[in-house]
Chain A
Amino acid sequence: MSDRTFTYVGTRPVRHDGMDKVTGRANYGADFSLPGMLHGVVVRSPHAHARIVSIDTHEAEAVPGVLAVVTARDIPETRAKLMLGEGALDLRDISENLLARTKVLYHGHTVAAVAATTLDAAREGAARVKVTYEVLEPVMTIEQALAANAPILHSDMITKGQHGAKAPSNVAARMELKRGDVGNGFTQADVVVEREFRTPTVHQGYIEPHACVARWGEDGRAFVWCSTQGPFAVRDQCAAVLGMDAAQVKVIPSEIGGGFGGKIVVYLEPLAVALSRKARRPVKMVMGREEVFRATGPTSGTRIRMKLGATRDGTFVAADASLYYEAGAYRGSPAGAGMMCLVAPYRIPNFVIEAFDVVVNKPKVAAYRAPGSPTASFAIESVIDELARELRLDPIDLRLKNAVVEGDAAPFGPAYGPIGLKALLEAARRHPHWKTPLAANQGRGVACGFWFNAGMNSSATVTLNMDGSAAVVTGNPDIGGTRAAQALMVSEELGIPVERIRPGVGDTDSSGYTDVTGGSRVCYATGMAVIGAAQDVREQLRARAAKIWNVDVASVTWEKGHAVPPKGAEKAEPLSVNDLAAKMTHTGGPIVGRASLYAPMAGPGFGAHICDLEVDPETGRSRVVRYTAFQDVGKAVHPSFVEGQIQGGAAQGIGWALNEEYVFDKNGVMENAGFLDYRMPVASDLPMIETVLIEVANPLHPYGVRGVGEVPIVPPLAAVANAMRDATGIRFTELPLSPPRVLAALNHEPTPVRTSDELSAVKADS
């Protein structure tokens, strides 16, 4: 597979949707309107933790222009499970996150929604919804959640995975991964490093807020236009929450302005449908940026204790870790994934890793690009850096010594297939970046990362037109250029030039079921469906050619976009796709290829990043001055978009490391719910980001494709922290490495205490 030469795959055509995007014509979630449309606005809890005593909507309903108000009374109570993407979610949790029923569990939690003829009237109506609360003490940190007399968020939450657990707790689950004998393992270690790491709540930071338009029809069918990573996920959540059949909901995905995992769970769509049902008019709902921060799904704040032991020559012998991940208001953090990724790049014969899913009064976390892995990597890669210093070994050499190869058992059980981790590390060691001298106040750090690549359900259709052009449709919104990649795959299989392929994103009626755009799965799993559908077309074309030549189809071969007749066939010349397409009506009718599949999750991805950081000792501000990202991508279908995904993921990781954090006040209210103070990297913060693509073919995919989208956010946290250690001599174990924190450490001062997390930690410890 890795020896296969490609004609189209690996080239860089201009993406088919590119023209619309550079001219402003492309329609995103908020760019859609329907005649007679109302505007919907959400009423949000002013308390981080409270019981709802009563909700009175009479005044709101009386505001001129207000045509509907919905609360939890308008949606059915349920306890069912919903299979959503990669996990089973508790439908009750999703419903109550959408509309609080008995308790509000975070500041910003939705309690009602109002639809009116103008946005101003809707806001007026929202202001007049009267909610009476019994305010409760908020739980804002892991320490507070675990404390002996902690307020309990869910009275029926018993810790899963804890044999014998009976009392209600804020720990939703405990998970464990073990191998060998840790006690014995550590006795073999010559050096042991143990540290505790903390990372704050951070947000995916997609530039486009959630937006949708919903219309309820007299026939009881709902139509939803929305910005989403998964139209089928939206459909299934709306149907389940509102007690409808999936077939009664049609979802058309708009172009999407970023998701990164944050646009899979719905926050608006069922509300818009419910409002539309009540008001008998279409309803548009668009979130503001503050709402996005306060009330969508950021990722977990974490506390991770990491202990790693090695022999003098650098062989890892034992690891012991405890991972606490905040789930937010409802259970379901990526603690389990963090646990599985922690030691995934390394051969360690003895380990015990425990992970805890902890609820706190923050918005329920959603997936954020390789959920669970970046913070786990931050912990272990920082500790490995310390070990390298103590052992006086080159940090890359130390990693190479312990890096997993094909055949090694992954920490979660199965053996790895062909993987490129060693190749990456060797490429990093050879790269000029690793040897370039540093200037004053500069430091260099390296780190690795691992992520699975999802498989799951995908469907694709390839339709051949009579003029030989073709369309390919899947159910995957295109966030990063996947349509271009899909067109390249169809070209590769059929020989049709890529400009004559029209790749499209279907809606839930016109596309077969397809799981979300996420999990690094589109080029891999949906790619397999696209290739399958194209091959289906090819088989039909062979059959048509056989009919024309009056020969057995088994004797017809396919070469370079042509059906080739067997030797000796009478009056038979090879027929091109164009020839065969022109004759489709005469030879049997339309030619439509389809494929649908459930792909396994395998062919994981590894990355290694080198970061050069310059720290200003007067201000504590640091700047990334050079960055190189190495990644095993399997096979880069459209290299420009693969590079782009790597650069973008690296930038997010750099932001996570240097500046991004939710700052909460003592009442559990986010103080920096805007782009000014939630500080993401801008163009002047970053250098060019060099990418080095290694291609170790994934045996499960016909072209060797591995998912690429998520791995690049995993290594940067530790790469930056290790560079900081190199530059300042200080090992920071808490993110972000923002100027106040760095400056205080440089000046040997205690970190400025200004967040409720730190205030509470001080309180809890005393």
Chain B
Amino acid sequence: MAKLHVHTTVNGEAAEFLCEPHETLLAALRNELGLTGTKEGCATGDCGACSILLDGRLVPSCLVLAAESQDRAVTTIEGLALGDALHPLQRKFLEHAALQCGICTPGFIVAAKALLDRQPEPTEQEARFWLAGNLCRCTGYDKIIRAVLDTAAEMRKTAV
């Protein structure tokens, strides 16, 4: 079967690629578009390392077909910083040392952004349950949650 030619928008820019019908969006992002920031941890949607936003919605890209991104907007970890300026989540993760090996970090940051887009004042409980779909084996989640809550507080302060 011939490959599919997909036109999509990734991190605000038009993108296109060829893919097999059964290829996942995760594989297309990494292998066709060279965006390796999104990681494969399990390929079954259980670990969150492949978290991206599809039209603003948090999804595991290992469970989305590449073809499904046709005419939609994809946001990956590579799209969060604004030029030289890191997204506040990225800054806070660094400040709080909320990463050790860092493999889960892109997924967590994208997932946390999805949380703060919807809920600018999350409680610790809300943050923990929202992020329950992202596995981390290194940190015990403590500093991650602190970073997310601290980001929320800072963003509320600077919001007009």
Contacts and interface: CB of A to CB of B under 8 A. Distances in A.
A binds B: yes
Interface of A: 12, 14-15, 17-19, 21-28, 30-31, 120, 204-209, 255-260, 286, 288-289, 479-481, 640-641, 643-645, 647-652, 674-676, 680-686, 688-689
Nearest to A259: B101
B36 A24 contact: yes
B137 A258 contact: yes
B76 interface: yes
B13 interface: no
B101 A208 contact: yes
29 contacts: A22-B90, A22-B105, A22-B109, A24-B36, A24-B76, A26-B102, A30-B39, A31-B30, A120-B20, A204-B137, A207-B103, A207-B104, A207-B136, A257-B101, A257-B104, A258-B137, A260-B137, A645-B100, A647-B142, A647-B143, A675-B42, A681-B140, A681-B141, A682-B132, A683-B141, A684-B132, A688-B142, A688-B146, A689-B140
Interface in B42-90: 42-44, 46-47, 49, 76-78, 80-81, 86, 90
Contacts of A17: 102
A289 B47 CA distance: 10
A615 B145 CA distance: 24
Contact of B140 (A28, A207, A648): A648
B139 interface: yes
A393 to B, nearest CB: 31
B100 A675 contact: no
B94 A22 contact: yes
A22 B100 CA distance: 11
Contacts of A22: 77, 86, 90, 93-94, 99, 102, 105-106, 109
A205 B47 CA distance: 11
A644 B141 contact: no
B32 to A, nearest CB: 12
Q: Which 7 A-B pairs have the closest CB atoms?
A: A24-B37, A257-B103, A21-B102, A651-B140, A647-B140, A640-B97, A24-B77
B138 A648 contact: yes
Given A14-B94, A674-B44, A23 B101 contact: no
A128 B104 CA distance: 36
Interface of B: 20, 30, 35-44, 46-47, 49, 76-78, 80-81, 86, 90, 93-97, 99-106, 109, 124-125, 127-129, 131-146
B128 A18 contact: no
A674 B137 contact: no
A642 B77 CA distance: 27
Contacts of A28: 39, 103
Contacts of A643: 97, 143
Q: Which of A26, A207, A258, A259 has the most CB of B within 10 A?
A: A207
Contact of A648 (B93, B95, B100, B109): B100
A644 B139 contact: yes
B42 A674 contact: yes
Given A28-B39, A31-B30, A688-B124, 13 more contacts: A19-B86, A22-B86, A22-B102, A23-B37, A207-B137, A255-B103, A257-B102, A288-B43, A648-B100, A675-B44, A682-B131, A683-B136, A686-B142
B36 A481 contact: no
A15 B94 contact: yes
Contacts of A480: 100-101, 138
A644 B138 contact: yes
A675 B45 CA distance: 9
A641 B102 CA distance: 13
A113 B145 CA distance: 42
A209 B137 CA distance: 13
Nearest to A655: B137
B130 to A, nearest CB: 8
Nearest to A479: B101
B99 A18 contact: yes
A704 B120 CA distance: 44
A14 B95 contact: yes
Contacts of B131: 682-684
A622 B130 CA distance: 20
Q: What is the interface of chain B mostly: helix, strand, loop, or mixed?
A: loop
Contacts, number: 182
A686 B140 contact: yes
A708 to B, nearest CB: 12
A633 to B, nearest CB: 15
A652 B136 CA distance: 10
A21 B104 contact: no
A517 B141 CA distance: 22
A83 B44 CA distance: 38
A23 B40 contact: no
Contact of B145 (A206, A676, A681, A688): A688
B90 A15 contact: no
Nearest to A651: B140
Contacts of B47: 207, 289, 675
Contact of B39 (A23, A257, A481, A676): A257
Nearest to B103: A257
Contact of B41 (A209, A641, A652, A685): A209
Nearest to A686: B141
Contacts of A31: 30, 36
B86 A23 contact: yes
Nearest to A288: B43
Given A30-B40, A31-B36, A650-B140, A641 B90 contact: no
B65 to A, nearest CB: 15
B76 to A, nearest CB: 7
Given A24-B76, A645-B100, A675-B47, A258 B138 contact: yes
B114 to A, nearest CB: 14
Contacts of B138: 258, 479-480, 644, 648
B39 A684 contact: no
Contacts of A27: 36
Contact of B139 (A26, A206, A209, A647): A647
A673 to B, nearest CB: 10
Nearest to A627: B140
Contacts of B90: 22-23
A14 B91 CA distance: 10
B100 A651 contact: no
B106 A24 contact: yes
A22 B42 CA distance: 20
A711 B98 CA distance: 20
Contacts of B106: 22, 24
Contacts of B100: 479-481, 641, 644-645, 648
A23 B128 CA distance: 22
A676 B143 CA distance: 24
Nearest to B45: A676
Contact of B144 (A19, A675, A683): A683
B156 to A, nearest CB: 21
B141 A23 contact: no
A697 B30 CA distance: 46
Contacts of B93: 18, 22
A649 to B, nearest CB: 8
Given A23-B90, A647-B142, A683-B144, A676 B46 contact: yes
Contacts of A651: 137, 139-141
B107 to A, nearest CB: 9
Q: Which of B105, B136, B142 has the most CB of A within 10 A?
A: B142
Q: Which of B86, B139, B145 has the most CB of A within 10 A?
A: B139
B89 to A, nearest CB: 8
Contacts of A207: 39, 41, 47, 49, 101, 103-104, 135-137
Contacts of B140: 644, 647-651, 681, 686, 689
Q: Which of A644, A651, A688 has the most CB of B within 10 A?
A: A644
A109 to B, nearest CB: 22
Given A22-B109, A23-B81, A258-B137, A689 B142 contact: yes
A651 B141 CA distance: 9
A120 B1 CA distance: 13
B139 A648 contact: yes
Given A24-B38, A257-B102, A481-B100, A206 B94 contact: no
